[in-house]
């Protein structure tokens, strides 16, 4: 009987993280899900096929939360085969007038949390382990109010490259996924309106020429790329950031 593989997925309560957790559970992995909303995680795990799944709720940028996750992983599993770091926070901050603390929050949460989870999981990985960071096309593009978010994603891209070099001797492969417009809760603004349903999106990306596939992506389409990167067909792929954006970044 084959030994079941084990994966940690952060940001699993919604969006890309949730779809990724569902995909790996369906593929026969044991899944440890992390996010701040425990009730959502418990509801999600109840939909999984049977397995040795774990719910580890909490803010993954908090050292105490990460320490507790590590305790559960060591006691219950003893190893980790893959990490998908999908947790994210969307916050608009003026590049000059916002407080430095507010402006740094997305960086400290997404990049800092990603570093903490990576440092937790690597010692538990065998030869052939996989690390996948979900970044964004924002990493090398500029948008007013989004500089701190973009900075965090750019840092994750470079972190993937550095990790790929340093972990190669241990047989651990590291890659990133940079989504474009994806239909998730992060697309919904403070007023409750999804940017994907606005006239601006329809004019520029559905009727216009900026998005060749003329639609937003689905979380499941990002989860599929994560499954590929963690699977047997990606054994010679490391240090790469794969853009999954419906062609958005190839156009003028």
Q: Which positions are annotated as active-site residues?
A: 149
Q: What is the SS3 assignment for 96?
A: coil
Cα-Cα-Cα-Cα dihedral sign, residues 241, 107, 16, 60? positive
195/161 Cα distance (integer angstroms): 32
What HEC string does 202-242 produce? HHHHHCCCCCCCCCCECHHHHHHHHHHHCCCCCCCCCCCEE
CB 179 within 8 A of CB 242: no
Continuous segment of H or E residues that includes residue 65: helix 63-76
Spatial CB neighbours of 50, under 8 Å, sequence gap ≥ 6:
none
Residue 89 CA: distances (Å) to CA of 14, 73, 148, 237: 12, 25, 11, 28
CB 125 within 8 A of CB 73: no
- Cα Rg of the chain (Å, integer): 18
């Amino acid at each position: 009987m084959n030994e079941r593989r084990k994966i940690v997925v952060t940001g699993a309560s919604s969006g890309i993280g949730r779809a990724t957790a569902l995909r790996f559970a369906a593929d026969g992995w044991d899944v440890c899900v992390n996010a701040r909303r425990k009730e959502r995680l418990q509801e999600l795990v109840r939909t999984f096929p049977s397995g040795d799944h774990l719910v580890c709720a909490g803010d993954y940028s908090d050292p105490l939360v990460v320490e507790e996750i590590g305790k559960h992983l060591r006691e219950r599993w003893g190893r980790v085969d893959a990490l998908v770091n999908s947790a994210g926070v969307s916050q608009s901050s003026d590049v000059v007038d916002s407080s430095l603390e507010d402006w740094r929050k997305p960086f400290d949460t997404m990049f800092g949390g990603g570093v903490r989870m990576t440092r937790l999981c690597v010692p538990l990985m065998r030869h052939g382990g996989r690390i996948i960071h979900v970044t964004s096309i924002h990493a090398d593009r500029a948008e007013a109010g989004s500089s701190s978010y973009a900075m965090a994603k750019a840092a994750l891209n470079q972190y993937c490259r550095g990790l790929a070099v340093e972990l190669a001797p241990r047989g651990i492969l590291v890659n990133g996924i940079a989504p474009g417009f994806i239909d998730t809760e992060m697309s919904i603004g403070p007023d409750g309106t999804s940017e994907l349903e606005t006239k601006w999106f329809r004019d520029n990306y559905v009727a216009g020429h900026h998005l060749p596939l003329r639609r937003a992506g689905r979380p499941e389409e990002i989860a599929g790329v994560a499954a590929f990167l963690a699977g047997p067909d990606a054994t010679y792929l490391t240090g790469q950031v794969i853009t999954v954006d419906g062609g958005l970044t190839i156009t003028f």
